């Protein structure tokens, strides 16, 4: 095993914006080794007061919609505005494909070498506290390291969107024009969660289709109630290839931020997110703790069998367990 990292060195490195030490710190928080986890908790406590000032933008959409091309173009635009941009990419299937999301070297060619950018795949699968728990912590470290914009990218294939929505300030859904909702696997629920929609690939012969799609989605969103904050999600179109509309996407996010900050909902959402991360992790830890008790695991598996076979109903099975606690 490598020697344990020195927390002071990591904290100072992060606060000085040292990318190599930031990377090491993220590796530390991603470790499942109990000694590393204890150190990671200390590290996070130390940097927490310096985090929180960034805008956290979640981005999702089906494979092929243009997420990485968009992030490249959007990220470079932000860097042009003097921002520091961190991209954390979650691949829900990373345990199977070994992190294919960033395996492709052509992804984000310019951004990956830009001095004010930091791109990192986020270890997800199997981590305690859910798919995005470590991503949330990695985001806090990036913020403490001075990144103003944290982009959290996930492949839109199901559960991960809900979780990403839970760790970002603005949740952006990328859509293709004319592909149909069904084809894109976009469930209504995901559209309801989005703070903004962007139709990608609005260039060349596709511009007109993108414009029609914008009207259609704007109409569809109009039928949904506004978010609890009073924000009405907006739809825009862009081309990550010719850069048109990219500026407008950031303008949408800035408008959203102003709206949320002025009505206090920006803070409310973050507080809810902190609490939900805490509760979720606590539930899991308590559950694991209970499971480690003598015989409980076996008892549960025998009940699971009985419930699956229809020999016992779920409620009475749970009562059986409750009696033993
Ligand atoms: P991801 O799977 O969502 O990350 O999608 P990619 O960013 O890898 O893009 C998928 C394909 O769409 C690639 O061949 C891109 O070159 C292409 N693409 C992405 N954005 C645009 C765009 O704005 N315009 C056009 N014409 N093609 C694009």
Q: Are residues 140 and 120 in the same domain?
A: yes
Output the six-digit token pair for 94: 């990373």
Q: Give, in order, the Cα–Cα distances in Å from 128 to each of 43, 93, 176, 226.
A: 18, 16, 34, 33
Q: Which one of 59, 69, 104, 239 would you pick to mutate in the ligand 1 pocket, going by the greatest count of ligand atoms within 8 A of its CB?
A: 69
Q: Are residues 167 and 207 in the same domain?
A: yes
Distances (CA, A) of 153 to 60, 102, 119, 201: 6, 11, 11, 18
Distance of CA 175 to the CA centre of its chain: 18
Q: Looking at ligand 1, which residue's alpha carbon is closest to its atom 24?
A: 201
61 in the same domain as 30 = no
CA–CA separation, 249 vs 179, rounded Å?
A: 21
Do residues 98 and 158 both lie within one domain? Answer: yes
Please indicate, yes or no, if residue 300 is contained in any of the structural domains.
yes
Q: Does residue 73 sit in the same domain as residue 207?
A: yes
> Does residue 269 lie in a domain region?
no
**Residue 271, domain member (yes or no):** no
Q: Are residues 241 and 288 in the same domain?
A: no
Give the pLDDT band of residue 158 (cuts 50, 70, 90).
low
Q: What is the pLDDT at residue 232? A: 92
Which helix H or strand E contains 188, and what residues bound it? helix 188-193
Confidence of residue 98 (pLDDT cuts 50, 70, 90): very low
173 CA to middle of ligand 1, Å? 15
Shared-domain flag, residues 85 and 184: yes
Q: Is 207 in the pocket of ligand 1 (CB under 6 A)?
A: no
pTM attached to this predicted model: 0.90
Tokens coding 5: 């990292």
Mean pLDDT of 220-235: 89
- Which residue has tokens 């850069």? 243
CATH of the domain at 131: 3.40.50.300
Averaged confidence pLDDT in the chain = 88
pLDDT attached to residue 62:
84
Taking the centre of ligand 1 as the mean of its atom positions, its distance from the CA of residue 137, in whole angstroms, is: 29
107 with 41, same domain?
no
Asked if residues 63 and 100 have their Cβ atoms less than 8 Å apart, the reply is no
Quote the domain boundaries for residue 283. Answer: 277-324
> Is residue 15 domain-shared with residue 83, that is, in the same domain?
no
Please tell me whether residues 250 and 191 are part of one structural domain.
Answer: yes
Q: Is the pLDDT of residue 157 over 80?
A: no
Q: Which of 216, 236, 263 is the last residue of a domain?
A: 263
pLDDT, residue 99, reads 45
Q: In this structure, is residue 270 part of a structural domain? A: no
CA of 213 to the centre of ligand 1 (A): 17
Task: Provide the pLDDT for residue 147.
Answer: 98
272 part of a folded domain: no
Answer whether residue 268 is part of any domain.
no
Whether residue 104 sits in one domain with residue 17: no
Q: Is residue 243 part of a domain?
A: yes
Is 35 part of any domain? yes
What ligand 1 atom has the least distance to the C-alpha of 72?
7
Tell the residue nearest (CA) to atom 9 of ligand 1.
Answer: 66
Q: How far is the CA of 66 from the centre of ligand 1 (A)?
A: 4
Q: How far is CA 167 from CA 40, 171, 173, 177, 285, in A?
A: 19, 9, 15, 28, 20
Q: What is the tally of structural domains in the chain?
A: 3
The pLDDT tens digits for 114-144 are 999 999 987 655 566 667 788 999 999 999 9
- CATH assignment at residue 34: 1.20.5.170
| Selected residue with higher pLDDT from 125 and 109 | 109
pLDDT band at 185 (very low <50, low <70, confident <90, very high): low
Task: Give CA–CA dist 271/33, Å, rounded.
Answer: 29
**Are residues 5 and 67 located together in one domain of the fold?**
no
């Amino acid at each position: 095993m490598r020697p344990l990292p020195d927390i002071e060195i990591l904290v100072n490195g992060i606060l000085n914006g040292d990318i190599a030490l930031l990377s090491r710190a993220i590796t530390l928080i991603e470790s499942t080794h109990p000694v590393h986890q204890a150190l990671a908790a200390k590290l996070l406590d130390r940097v927490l007061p310096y985090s929180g000032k960034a805008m956290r933008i979640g981005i999702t959409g089906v494979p092929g919609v243009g997420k990485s091309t968009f992030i490249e173009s959007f990220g470079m635009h932000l860097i042009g505005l003097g921002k520091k941009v961190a991209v954390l990419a979650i691949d829900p299937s990373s345990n199977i494909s070994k992190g294919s999301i960033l395996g492709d070297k052509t992804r984000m060619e310019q951004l990956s070498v830009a001095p004010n950018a930091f791109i990192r795949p986020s270890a997800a699968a199997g981590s305690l506290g859910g798919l995005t728990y470590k991503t949330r912590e990695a985001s806090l470290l990036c913020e403490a390291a001075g990144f103003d914009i944290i982009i959290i990218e996930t492949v839109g294939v199901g559960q991960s969107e809900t979780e990403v929505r839970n760790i970002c300030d603005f949740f952006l859904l990328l859509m293709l024009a004319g592909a149909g909702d069904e084809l894109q696997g976009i469930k209504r629920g995901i559209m309801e969660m989005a703070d903004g929609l962007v139709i990608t690939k609005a260039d060349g012969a596709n511009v007109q289709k993108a414009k029609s799609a914008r009207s259609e989605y704007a109409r569809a969103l109009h039928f949904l109630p506004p978010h609890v904050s009073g924000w009405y999600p907006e739809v825009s179109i862009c081309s990550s290839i010719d850069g048109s509309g990219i500026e407008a996407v950031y303008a949408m996010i800035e408008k959203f931020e102003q709206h949320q900050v002025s009505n206090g909902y920006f803070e409310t959402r973050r507080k809810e997110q902190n609490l939900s991360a805490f509760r979720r992790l606590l539930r899991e830890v308590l559950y694991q703790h209970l499971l480690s008790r003598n015989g409980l695991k076996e008892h549960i598996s025998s009940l699971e069998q009985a419930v699956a076979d229809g020999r016992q109903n779920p409620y009475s099975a749970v009562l059986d367990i409750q009696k033993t606690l």
